[in-house]
Structure 1
Amino acid sequence: MKVAQKNNSQAKEVKQSPFPVFHKLPESFVPRYYDSISKFYRDRIAPDFNGMFLVAKNGEIVYERYKGTANKQYDKRIDKHTPLHVASISKVVTAMVICKLADSGELVLDKDIRSYLPEIMYEGITVRMLLNHRSGIPYYGYFPYSIWPADKALTNQKIVQLLNQYKMPLYFPPNSQFSYCNTNYALLALIAERISHKKFPILARELIFEPLGMTDSFINDGSQNSDSLSRSYDSRNRLEPFTNLDGIYGDKNLYTTARDLLKLDKATYSPVFLSDSIKKEMFRGYSYERKGKSNYGLGYRLREDQGKSTLFFHTGWWHGNTGCYASLRQDTICMVIISNHYTRKVFAINRLSTLFGNYPYEPLIDTKENFVQPEAAKTHVDQAVNRKKRG
């Protein structure tokens, strides 16, 4: 009896793989698509490209290319193990950390954020509204230098303090519309830290990177900002310097590779990594106040078009880093393109989606997506600061 109990205990300790078991690709698949993908890369991407390009089906790589320099000063070339800053693609990982916490019962998506950040002044905003950009909270990038100097590093916690100190009003009532805003995801990282009592880079490593074998991925909290990192360059190949916003994480500061993002994508098809119920919440749109094909789930952008399969993706753009990770879930296709030399070419990767299925082709950078325009958002913050100064 004692031996049986021991064996049962050992069986419980065996961890299930976080990856699904896909059917092996038929031998005809790669030859069928290789030439078309190669032509797309050669004609549209390769000239002057500096970065990573990957297309996979069922978690198997169909085509990949690595080209250029990660760091000119140290003469580091880009290969399959070179972590590059992927800008807002980081939001996918942040959303998954939050959804993992929800899956484990440590967090409730529809709970008021003051349950986790009691010091924040806003009422009626839930965790879900941060995830789908329907909170109305102002963007920290528009804080004027008069309240936060350019030579002083801003942190996730300081964002909350400044929002409160200057009583910055919401752009709009919570959950009344969509407006993409990095502050939402900076706050989500802070909420994850409060719940777990761990720094977000450690939590992301424990919940996401280590279980999925994403050995070339990490979240930079600003302490790793150094000349030895993979750096970014502008369109004229000039080095982009670090700024006072480069210590904020959750909305950005994920360094990763195309192959690691493929592992992440593959895991999203498994009920072991994320429950089916939480994935239903992630992979659906939330903003239908205005007509259009653009939408946002929980950490994923969407292109929806009647009669077509939904395209799930996330773009990124920070300093000279641009990129796109696309998940064609109807056909289990993953496409990744990342560059550390500024280029808009990366946003054209969805042209490939029509090769694999009936997906909408829409520009991935659409100025009509944000219903609060940058100038109005900046003015909104400036007005709050001026009111505070006037007393």
Structure 2
Amino acid sequence: MSTLPDEVTLSDGVDAVARQSGFAGAVSIVRGGETVVEKAYGLADRARGIRNTAGTRFGIASGVKGLTALAVVSLISDSALAFETTARSVLGGDLPLIDDAVTVEQLLAHRSGIGDYFDEEAEGEITDYVLPVPVHELVATEDYLRVLGGHPQKFAPGERFSYCNGGYVVLALIAERVSGVPFHELVRTRVCEPAGMTATGFPRSDELPGDAALGYLPIAGHDRTNVFHLPVVGSGDGGAYSTVGDVGRFWLALLGGRIVSRSAIARMLERVSDAGDGMGYGLGFWLRDADGAVLLEGYDAGVSFRSWHRVDRDETVTVISNSSDGAWPVARRLAELLG
């Protein structure tokens, strides 16, 4: 049985790659409920010289999808929804290009086949302006109807896996309509509060709290933020801010059955699809074949985030950066060191 690297080895390893890559962000390793490494690097606000700390709030982009999935599954546990509920039964006449047979479970598993308003398979750069409406107009969940519509179904529901941001906004819309509670409030009360995630939420990008990091684009010679690239308030597919500490608490609460039941979690973490590159996908979570880790990941203009938990070690690793690609070199190095 191999011995895991100690705190000094891990800390030195992170320091080295952070220096080499110019990493700005925060890193946390928690094992058995004890913090092994918790460090921050670089600037949260380059113009004002404000440094990142372990308590800095960062955007987590698509890491939100796990929170959305849990909010939806909690409504299923309360019998307000079912995995078999069709999107059409809730949407009514809205978004008519979504196939009438698409179900909540297919949306959770990225197997719905619906056209995507923010298609990551399309060619382009992370610095592109991709939203067809002014970003400040996307505030409430219902506002997203303007960008979700007009995208034809790509394939028959259930046919195969195809990562879909729009599907998770549709899930947010469904959750909001069946519960009568705004989506952001559902995430707060059904996911964040049970997990003790007091620093996690959906602030407006033009009204960020003082402890939040600005997200920076990879434009040489410029310190340009992502404020014009993303919706002013996120939805079911991304846009929340969190801390490495809150993410660590999330995994403990998730696997401890404090957000939804352990039986519900077991269903969410069953492998539904082969997602390629040694990864599978369940319902809201990535599943890594090599070591059985469960992952959340996010990538967007000015945001990169990866967090994984290994049940066999009771170990959580979280890397968040306020730049588009910043998290990846550090996450890769930690994966190498930890094996």
Q: TM-score range by the shorter chain?
A: 0.7 to 0.9
Q: State the partner residue of 1:322.
A: 304
Structure 1, unaligned stretches of length 5 or more?
1-28, 358-391
CA–CA distance in 2 between the matches of 1:258 and 1:327?
Answer: 13
Q: Does 1:34 align with 2:11?
A: no
Q: State the partner residue of 2:114.
A: 137
CA–CA distance in 1 between the matches of 2:131 and 2:285?
Answer: 32
CA–CA distance in 2 between the matches of 1:116 and 1:287?
Answer: 26
Q: State the partner residue of 1:87.
A: 61
Matches within 5 A, 1:1-391: 33-47=6-20, 48-119=22-93, 120-121=95-96, 122=98, 123-141=100-118, 148-150=132-134, 153-154=137-138, 156-160=141-145, 163-164=148-149, 166=150, 168-220=151-203, 224=207, 230-235=213-218, 236=220, 238-243=223-228, 245-246=230-231, 247-288=233-274, 293-305=278-290, 309-346=291-328, 349-353=331-335, 356=338
Q: Is the 8 A contact 1:331 1:356 kept in 2?
A: no
Q: Is the 8 A contact 1:302 1:310 kept in 2?
A: yes
SS in 1 for 2:74: helix
The number of residues matched between the two structures is 322
CA–CA distance in 1 between the matches of 2:262 and 2:337?
Answer: 28
SS in 1 for 2:273: coil
Residues 347 and 75 (structure 1), Cα distance of their counterparts in 2 relative to 1, 3 Å cut: closer
CA–CA distance in 1 between the matches of 2:88 and 2:282?
Answer: 22
Q: Is the 8 A contact 1:231 1:240 kept in 2?
A: yes
TM-score, normalised via structure 2 length: 0.84
Residues 223 and 185 (structure 1), Cα distance of their counterparts in 2 relative to 1, 3 Å cut: farther
CA–CA distance in 1 between the matches of 2:327 and 2:130?
Answer: 36
SS in 2 for 1:141: coil
**The 10-residue stretch of structure 1 (347-356 or 257-266) with the greater mean CA deviation from structure 2:** 347-356
SS in 1 for 2:323: coil
Residues 151 and 161 (structure 1), Cα distance of their counterparts in 2 relative to 1, 3 Å cut: closer
Write the deviation string for residues 60-97 of structure 1: whole angstroms up to 9, x where unpaired.
21111012221234543222222111111111111111
CA–CA distance in 2 between the matches of 1:51 and 1:151?
Answer: 25
CA–CA distance in 1 between the matches of 2:130 and 2:199?
Answer: 38
After TM superposition, give the deviation of residue 202 of structure 1 in Å. Answer: 1.6
Structure 2, unaligned stretches of length 5 or more?
123-128
After TM superposition, give the deviation of residue 292 of structure 1 in Å. Answer: 5.9
What amino acid does structure 2 have at the position aligned with 1:252?
G
Residues 229 and 262 (structure 1), Cα distance of their counterparts in 2 relative to 1, 3 Å cut: closer
CA–CA distance in 2 between the matches of 1:317 and 1:272?
Answer: 27
Q: Is the 8 A contact 1:53 1:338 kept in 2?
A: yes
Write the deviation string for residues 164-206 of structure 1: whole angstroms up to 9, x where unpaired.
5x4x321111110111111011111111211221222222111
After TM superposition, give the deviation of residue 223 of structure 1 in Å. Answer: 7.1
CA–CA distance in 1 between the matches of 2:228 and 2:336?
Answer: 39
What amino acid does structure 2 have at the position aligned with 1:327?
H
Residues 62 and 146 (structure 1), Cα distance of their counterparts in 2 relative to 1, 3 Å cut: closer
After TM superposition, give the deviation of residue 129 of structure 1 in Å. Answer: 1.0
Q: Is the 8 A contact 1:232 1:320 kept in 2?
A: yes
| RMSD after superposition | 3.0
Larger Rg: 1
Residues 46 and 94 (structure 1), Cα distance of their counterparts in 2 relative to 1, 3 Å cut: farther
SS in 2 for 1:219: coil
Write the deviation string for residues 268-326 of structure 1: whole angstroms up to 9, x where unpaired.
221343212211111122124x8762221111112225xxx312212211111111111
TM-score, normalised via structure 1 length: 0.73
**The 10-residue stretch of structure 1 (232-241 or 208-217) with the greater mean CA deviation from structure 2:** 232-241
Residues 125 and 83 (structure 1), Cα distance of their counterparts in 2 relative to 1, 3 Å cut: same
CA–CA distance in 2 between the matches of 1:232 and 1:341?
Answer: 6
